[in-house]
Each structure stands twice: as structure tokens, then as C-alpha cells.
Amino acid sequence: MTTTFASSLMAAEMAEQPAALRRLLARRAGLRRLLAHAAPADLTGVAFVGRGSSANAAMFGRTLAELATDRPALLVSPSADRLYDMHTDYTGFLAVGLSQSGRTPEVVATLADLRSAGACTVAMTSDCDSPLARVADVCVDLAVGPERAVPTTKAFSAQLAALVILAEALGGEVATDIAWGAMAHAVQVALDDWQSADELAHRMRTTSHLAVVGAGLFLGVAEEVALKLEETALVAAAAHSSASYRHGPLALTRAGLPLLAVIGPGRAGEETARLVDDARRMGAPVVVIGGNGDLPLPVGLPEQLAAIPAVVRGQQLALSLAILKGLDPDAPLGLSKVTQT
């Protein structure tokens, strides 16, 4: 890593991710019990609320929850709740509020409203003394410490890991300790390979617009990679599911819009890989996070755990591009750590 990278708060916080994930792994059994107890005995569904990166984590959590429970899971819109004075009955729901700081006003207010509407509530935050934690029945401490860089990195990967633990607690597939350890190791391997990210950033240094695609559990990852590129490197990045991209946006790829694909294991990854093949046949510029792609990932991890090193690769690309463009990755233009909405 260059001196420029080393002096970045964002890079320093990214480097803390393997240790933070291992700390969550050490607490996994206890967190599973805590979350299993927090859920209603007769679960109707799971509701998630978040803003920014936490909304992308919530998208990941929604898919995991539906797979784990065979019950509907949904993303609650803080804006709809605030603007339309909604009074939905959430009896029998488990509601999960996600916020790195625990201080995003809309997320706090919406989780409080969900609790008043009958939901059992969980906060996932780095501060269990925060306003979000105080309106929740249970707080999951992400234990990553404060983030000083505006773009969240270590808290986001910890949120994904905590959501996997939640899915396990709700009856989903329980990954082995070996798989969890392999995931944390994969994150470290990715962070040790800045050369791939730097080389790709140089190839993309003139890119001003692109599409980011993913499928299944990797759709939330694609959304987060797009957000990191937008806020950190000032690249206009639009995220799409691999299937929905074929319903219109593919025309832009045919016209030469670059495509960044985040490919995980399983059928969802196969769907994205087919889209990549089609885009390449059209002659469009394509880059891949995953497998033996431009930013490679190890094979063999369960899909829900493979998402975590994949998002770290997206963080690396955003940081490399920002540095190459002479931008300050720690303080993106017009943004602050807690957005008042």
C-alpha cells in the first residue's frame, strides 16, 4: 500500500475489518441466542430499516431473512412513514434497524414507530448507547469502534456478518466455524492485494458513468459498490439486478456504457455471469468482482459469506479511484457522517 493510501482514514478503517469480523465470529453463538429470543414466537415477517449503506445492508438482510424463515421480509421506507403518516400493523414482525452511528434521525424514528405498531425490535449499530439502541428491545453491538472517515467500510461488513447471524438465529443455514474463519481470511487476502484494485483504477480513471449489477444476495453488494463509487470517487454508478438490467438498461451497455458485475457463487452468480457474457459479445467494457475476475475472490465460501469479501473489493476500487483522481476519500463533497433526514 502506498504512503497516500496509508494516510487515509478510510484505508485504515478498511484494514480493521478482518479483526472486527473475527470478533463477531467469537460472539456468534451468543448473538444467535439473543436474536432467536428477540423474535416473536409466531413470526409473521421481518422488516428492515436503514439509510445509505445501511439500506444496502438491509437489502441483503431481506433476502437472507426470507430464505431463513419462509416468511415475507420487507424494507420499510423511512420517507413513506414520515411523509404519509402511515399506521401499518406490524404485530408478529421482527423489525431490524441498521445504522453505524445509531443516530440517523429517520431510522431512529421509524424503528420507534415499528415498535409502537407491534413489532419486536433489534438495533444493529456500533453504539449500544445510541438513540437507535434506546428505541430497540435488543441491541447488537457491531463492535467496530467509531468510524472517522465519512464512507462507511468496517461497519458495513460487520452489518452483513450480523445479518448472516440473524438469519442463522431465525432458522437459516448455519455456516461452519471453518467457513466463517475462511471468510475473515478472504477479507485479509483481498486487503493484502491492493495491486489489482490499483491496476483496475488506472484502467477506469476516465470512467464517469457505469452500471453495477448483481443478483440475489449480491444485489445489496452491487448497490453498496455503486454507492462507494459515487460518494468516494465521484463516478455516477447505477445499480441494477442482473435480471432487471435486461429490461431496458442493457441498451446503454449496447451503446458502450461500462458494466461492473459483482459475481458470487450459486445460481444468482450464474445469472450475472450470463449477463457479462452477453455484454462482452456486444463489445461493451466489462469489469468483474468475483472468481478470477479483475478483482478476484476465493471460491468455496457459502454465498452469504462470500458477499463480505466482495464488498471489500468494491471499497478498494472506490478508494483507489478517489486517490488517483486527487479526491479526499475521507471527506466526500457535501457529505457528513450522520445525515440529517
- DSSP string covering 252-310, please? HHHTT--EEEE--SHHHHHHHHHHHHHHHHTT--EEEESTTSSB---S-S-HHHHHHHH
Q: Rounded to an integer, what distance in angstroms lies between the CA atom of residue 287 and that of residue 204?
A: 10
In this chain, the answer to whether the domains covering 3-174 and 179-324 adopt an identical fold is: yes
Q: Rounded to an integer, what distance in angstroms lies between the CA atom of residue 195 and that of residue 199?
A: 6
pLDDT number for residue 340:
54
pLDDT in tens, 61-108: 999 999 999 999 999 988 776 677 778 999 999 999 999 999 999 999
| CATH class, range 179-324 | alpha beta
pLDDT number for residue 337:
54
CB of 207 closer than 8 Å to CB of 234: no
Using a 10 angstrom Cβ sphere, with 0-12 exposed, 13-18 middle and 19 or more buried, the burial of residue 328 is middle
Q: Rounded to an integer, what distance in angstroms lies between the CA atom of residue 273 and that of residue 256?
A: 18
CB of 242 closer than 8 Å to CB of 216: no
Which cell is 249 given? Answer: 438498461
Neighbours of 89 (CB within 10 A): 10
Given a cut of 50, is residue 173 above it in pLDDT?
A: yes
Given a cut of 80, is residue 266 above it in pLDDT?
A: yes
Q: Was domain 3-174 assigned CATH 3.40.50.10490?
A: yes
Q: Rounded to an integer, what distance in angstroms lies between the CA atom of residue 145 and that of residue 100?
A: 10
pLDDT in tens, 8-65: 999 999 999 999 999 999 999 999 999 999 999 999 999 999 999 999 999 999 999 9
Region 169-181 average pLDDT: 96
Nearest residue to 68 (alpha-carbon basis) of 245, 291, 217, 244: 217
Given a cut of 80, is residue 116 above it in pLDDT?
A: yes
Q: Percentage of the chain surpassing pLDDT 90?
A: 85
Q: What is the average pLDDT value for the chain, to the nearest integer? A: 93
- pTM value is 0.95
pLDDT number for residue 98:
98
pLDDT in tens, 178-225: 999 999 999 999 999 999 999 999 999 999 999 999 999 999 999 999
pLDDT band at 3 (very low <50, low <70, confident <90, very high): very low
CB of 144 closer than 8 Å to CB of 158: yes
Given a cut of 70, is residue 341 above it in pLDDT?
A: no
- Per-position DSSP letters for 176-242, written without gaps between them: -HHHHHHHHHHHHHHHH-HHHHHHHHHHTTT--EEEEEE-TTHHHHHHHHHHHHHHHH--EEEEEET
Where exactly are the structural domains of the chain? 3-174, 179-324
pLDDT number for residue 5:
57
